[in-house]
């Protein structure tokens, strides 16, 4: 049975890294002795070691150990034997590129579908969707494909940001960008605001957290979905 938590962001303003998610994380990984951390997204260009160290520090009082995937000789074997997996945020292009080049995209999908507890934040949440094509990140590397895990039957836009009516900046709003996505792609997009997350429990997908989500469908006006809603019919 799938047990997944896909969060918009790792960190809320004024809080410590992952702080707001601790109760959920403890529940998600309650049967896991060791968590495998996938640091491939390398936020701000930091190293795999630095990033894993940050996560180990944040989780030091939680009842499980953390190891980075780069600490294993064989990343595929590491995923096959993991008791729980956390993919952190950063640059989605880097993350997807590395998952493909390490040859682990398929095995990661398979294990999550088989019920290994999975936590994603930001880029780690984006890859839970059908494709990474609604990321906000810069294409700093050319990945072999944009297809991702598809553990939910739609796309996700993490860190969803409402248009700022007071802004004089003429760059595209997030909503305009997603509209451009829908000019050539058909799957729905969940605009997941910071403070919100998707909880997948078996066949049920539920919006949780402090925020409503913005739902975008091709050829439909965008709509709001309050926290607590089921997304089972979104596909």
**Which amino acids are annotated catalytic?**
122, 137, 159
Q: Which of 62, 80, 161, 225 binds a second copy (CB under 8 A)?
A: 161
E strand residue ranges, the chain: 3-7, 34-38, 65-68, 85-87, 118-121, 155-160, 189-193, 196-201, 204-209, 213-216, 223-225
Position among 52, 91, 125, 211 found at the interface with a second copy (CB under 8 A):
91
The verdict on 210 binding a second copy (CB under 8 A) reads no
| Integer Cα distance of 105 and 107 in angstroms | 6
Q: Does 62 bind a second copy (CB under 8 A)?
A: no
Query: Under a CB-based contact definition with an 8 Å cutoff, are residues 198 and 208 in contact?
Result: yes
Rama region for 143: left / alpha / beta (φ>0; ψ in -120 to 50; rest)? beta
Contacts of 116 by beta carbon, 8 Å cutoff, 6+ apart: 3, 82, 83, 84, 85
141 counts as binding a second copy under rule CB under 8 A: yes
- Tell me which of 177, 206, 217, 234 binds a second copy, using CB under 8 A: 177
Give the Cα separation of 99 and 112 in Å (integer).
Answer: 15
**By the rule CB under 8 A, 1 interacts with a second copy:** no
Q: Is 159 in the site for a second copy (CB under 8 A)?
A: yes
Q: Is 135 in the site for a second copy (CB under 8 A)?
A: yes
The stretch among 29-37, 141-149, 209-217, 225-233 that binds a second copy (CB under 8 A) is 141-149
How far is residue 148's CA from residue 33's CA, in Å, rounded to a whole number? 27
Answer whether 38's CB lies under 8 Å from 69's CB: yes
- Choosing from 19, 172, 202, 230, the residue that interacts with a second copy (CB under 8 A) is 172
133 binds a second copy (CB under 8 A): yes
Among 60, 73, 142, 165, binds a second copy (CB under 8 A): 142
Please report whether residue 211 would count as binding a second copy according to CB under 8 A: no
| Site residues for a second copy per CB under 8 A | 9-14, 42-45, 90-91, 93-94, 132-142, 145-146, 158-159, 161, 168-172, 176-185, 194
């Amino acid at each position: 049975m799938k047990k997944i938590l896909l969060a918009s962001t790792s960190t809320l303003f004024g809080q410590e890294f992952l702080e707001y998610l601790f109760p959920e994380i403890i529940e998600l990984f309650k049967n896991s002795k060791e968590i495998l951390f996938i640091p491939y997204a390398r936020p701000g260009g930091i190293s795999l070691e630095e990033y894993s160290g940050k996560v180990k520090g944040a989780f030091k009082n939680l009842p499980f150990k953390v190891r980075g995937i780069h600490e294993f000789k064989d990343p595929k074997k590491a995923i096959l034997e993991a008791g729980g997996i956390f993919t952190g945020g950063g640059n989605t292009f880097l993350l997807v590129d590395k998952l493909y080049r390490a040859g682990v995209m398929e095995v990661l999908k398979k294990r999550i579908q088989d019920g290994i507890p999975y936590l994603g934040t930001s880029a780690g949440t984006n890859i839970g969707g059908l494709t990474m094509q609604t990321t906000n990140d810069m294409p700093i590397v050319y990945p072999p494909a944009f297809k991702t895990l598809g553990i939910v039957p739609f796309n996700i836009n993490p860190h969803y940001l409402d248009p700022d009516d007071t802004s004089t900046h003429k760059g595209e709003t997030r909503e305009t960008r997603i509209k451009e996505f829908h000019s050539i792609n058909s799957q729905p997009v969940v605009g997941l605001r910071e403070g919100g997350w998707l909880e997948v429990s078996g066949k049920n997908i539920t919006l949780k957290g402090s925020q409503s989500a913005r739902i975008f469908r091709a050829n439909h006006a965008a709509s709001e979905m309050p926290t607590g809603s089921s997304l089972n019919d979104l596909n």
